[in-house]
Structure 1
Amino acid sequence: MELRQLEYFVAVAEERSFTRAAERVHISQSGVSAQIRRLERELGAELFDRSARVATLTVAGKAALEHARAALAAAGAVGQAVGEVTDLIRGTLTVGMVLGCTITPLFDALAAFHEAHPGVELALLEDNSDRLVEGVRSGALDLALIGTANAVPEGLEALTIISERLVAAVPPGHPLAARRRVTLPDLADHPIVCMPQGTGLRAVFDEACAARGLRPVIALQAGAADTIADLAVRGLGVAMLSESMAARYRDRLTALPVEDVRAPALLALVWREGGGPAVRALLRHARRTFSAQPL
């Protein structure tokens, strides 16, 4: 008894036709018929009533059908299990991350994954969030750390890592420095230094301004938080950052919550639905490192 014979038997039973079954398994009808005859001889019973135009299961055929399906499913599971082990022994995992990424738990997760699966080659790509999302959707990237204004980009799975309010950061002596918080209209009177379009922080800021009919002056743009902070320290504009970003520069900048921006800026890992074994393994490490370490 061979697996292909069981495959052909199941195909005929489900299609109720030797012709359609042959089309389904991509061999000739005579080939399907011959293999079914061989299977019947091995089992010592006819599986189909061939007296009618439709291939109908006999009592023996009905008894065999579920067992045949189970055998095919078991064989498929064996192949999948071996394939997953093989993927984690050798292969490539391509990970994207936002420009200027300083999220050390991600690096810890990559290190733990590499230690557990040294045969898998890791490739890293930095880009803005919009292009990273498209890379994951197209399959060019297996997984990416992105900034976003939406919890789950359409068509992808996501694990939210950080959800924070937007803040304005200004140096001592700035007209806004004495305040405890600001609003978007307050910021409209000052030049802004922020992330470029295509990033999560910029999307949150732009969407909030558009909702209020405001058009702030974007004086300078940079992809790294350090650069934005350095420009703001030098008086070139109000820095738009997340809370955790701004906290790193508390010795040079005053962080002011933007009280009329309620939508959070999100940092999330995204991947295609299901993912592969390497993606799932990296996600397990990521969940452990992000839950164990403060960001």
Structure 2
Amino acid sequence: MELRTLEYFVAVAEERSFTKAAVRCHVVQPAISQQIQALEKELGEPLFERLPRQVVLTSGGAALLPHARACLAAAASAVLEFADRSGLLGGSFALGTVGGLEGTVIPRLLGEYHRRYPQVAVSLIGASSPSLLAKVRDGEIDAAVVAGPPDGEPAVVTSRVLLEDRIVAVLPAGGRPANRPMTFDEAVRSPVISYGPDSGVHAFIRAAFAAKGLRLDIAYATNDVALQVALVAERIGIALTSHASPVLAADPRFVVVPVEPAIRLRKVFVWRQGTRPSAPLRAFLDLWTELSGRGELSEPASRDEAGTGAATGG
């Protein structure tokens, strides 16, 4: 029993026609018929019932079909595996990205990935977290970096934590000592500058205030953290934003203070569950594991320690 014969068998079963199967497999129709007849002789029973306008599987054919598909899938997987090992990996890798990944490990990973697998066509798709989650769920992109939803990622995706973060308040300079936290009650008494409803971070902030029975009205909504703090510098209001953003580095125009109670969030790397990841995605995940194991992917120090850090948005 040869793989090519099983390929012909699956094609006839799915097309319900020897002629259409021949077109699909790029061979002449008699070649398909001869291979199927030989397979039926080898197995000792007919696999198809030949009707005037189509062919249908017999009980024997129906029993063989899942095994044939599994054999073909295993062979294809083996080819991809050895293509990876030989450095001949090709194809495409579509990665969704939210804003503010310049200070995370993602650029380092993509750089090494490009050097190892130059034949892979990498495309970056920028969008909000909810939109990217939907694209991963629907199979439109291979993976994405998103703000993890407050109630967890959908069951249809697998995730790996990229970054732990928290929300801080940014106020005009001179209005408050940096070591004095801002409560939710104080925050709602000022015009608030924060993320828009299309941002995954927005949901974390809204949920935290709602849990305390407070309504949060965002006067100026933008997912651009640099613009948020520029508005703070103009004394329009206070910003509730990502602590990890590098634009919060020491600046005489504003002061950054903790928020109490803390609003914690995660940036996660997600991909679709239930299907075998594509070879380019598997290579990316394996590279991440390899470099992490060698200690080459340590996150930048937090802003408290080094004056900068990884950015979070979307």
TM, length-normalised to structure 1 = 0.72
Aligned counterparts of 1:266 and 1:277: Cα–Cα separation in 2: 27
1:26-175 correspondence to structure 2 within 5 Å: 26=16, 34-35=37-38, 38-39=41-42, 76-84=73-81, 89-150=89-150, 151-174=152-175
Superposed CA RMSD in Å reads 3.6
Displacement after TM superposition at 1:229 (Å) = 1.9
Aligned counterparts of 1:246 and 1:4: Cα–Cα separation in 2: 56
When residues 206 and 287 of structure 1 are mapped into structure 2, their CA distance, relative to the original with a 3 A threshold, is farther
State the Cα deviation string for residues 211-250 of structure 1 (Å, max 9, x = none).
Answer: 2232223121222222222222222221112222278423
What amino acid is aligned across from residue 232 of structure 1 in structure 2?
A: V
1:256-267 correspondence to structure 2 within 5 Å: 256-262=257-263, 264-267=264-267
More helix by share: 1
Identity %: 27
Are the aligned partners of 2:103 and 2:246 in contact in 1 as well (CA < 8 Å)? no
Aligned counterparts of 1:257 and 1:246: Cα–Cα separation in 2: 16
Query: 178-187 vs 80-89, which deviates more?
Result: 80-89
Query: 219-228 vs 238-247, which deviates more?
Result: 238-247
Aligned length, in residue pairs? 259
Aligned counterparts of 1:153 and 1:271: Cα–Cα separation in 2: 11
> Please, which of 256, 264, 278 is the counterpart of residue 280 of structure 2?
278
Aligned counterparts of 1:72 and 1:130: Cα–Cα separation in 2: 35
Are the aligned partners of 1:229 and 1:249 in contact in 2 as well (CA < 8 Å)? no
1:178-197 correspondence to structure 2 within 5 Å: 180-197=180-197
When residues 240 and 78 of structure 1 are mapped into structure 2, their CA distance, relative to the original with a 3 A threshold, is same
Are the aligned partners of 2:5 and 2:36 in contact in 1 as well (CA < 8 Å)? no
Q: Which residue of 1 aligns with 2:269?
A: 269
**Higher alpha-carbon Rg:** 1
State the Cα deviation string for residues 88-133 of structure 1 (Å, max 9, x = none).
Answer: 6322211111024323420111111111111111111111111111
Aligned counterparts of 1:90 and 1:82: Cα–Cα separation in 2: 12
Give structure 2 stretches of 5+ with no counterpart: 19-32, 47-58, 301-314
When residues 79 and 101 of structure 1 are mapped into structure 2, their CA distance, relative to the original with a 3 A threshold, is closer
Give structure 1 stretches of 5+ with no counterpart: 12-21, 41-45, 49-54, 57-64
Are the aligned partners of 1:108 and 1:289 in contact in 2 as well (CA < 8 Å)? no
Are the aligned partners of 1:190 and 1:217 in contact in 2 as well (CA < 8 Å)? no
Aligned counterparts of 1:97 and 1:5: Cα–Cα separation in 2: 43
Aligned counterparts of 1:116 and 1:140: Cα–Cα separation in 2: 25
Aligned counterparts of 1:100 and 1:220: Cα–Cα separation in 2: 19
What amino acid is aligned across from residue 108 of structure 1 in structure 2?
A: R
Are the aligned partners of 2:194 and 2:228 in contact in 1 as well (CA < 8 Å)? yes
What amino acid is aligned across from residue 257 of structure 1 in structure 2?
A: P
1:201 and 2:201 correspond: yes
When residues 247 and 76 of structure 1 are mapped into structure 2, their CA distance, relative to the original with a 3 A threshold, is closer
When residues 289 and 248 of structure 1 are mapped into structure 2, their CA distance, relative to the original with a 3 A threshold, is farther
Q: Which residue of 1 aligns with 2:298?
A: 293
Q: Which residue of 2 aligns with 1:61?
A: none
Query: 203-212 vs 222-231, which deviates more?
Result: 222-231
Aligned counterparts of 2:203 and 2:178: Cα–Cα separation in 1: 27
Displacement after TM superposition at 1:294 (Å) = 2.2
Are the aligned partners of 1:100 and 1:223 in contact in 2 as well (CA < 8 Å)? no
Displacement after TM superposition at 1:259 (Å) = 1.8
TM, length-normalised to structure 2 = 0.68
When residues 35 and 122 of structure 1 are mapped into structure 2, their CA distance, relative to the original with a 3 A threshold, is same
What amino acid is aligned across from residue 155 of structure 1 in structure 2?
A: V
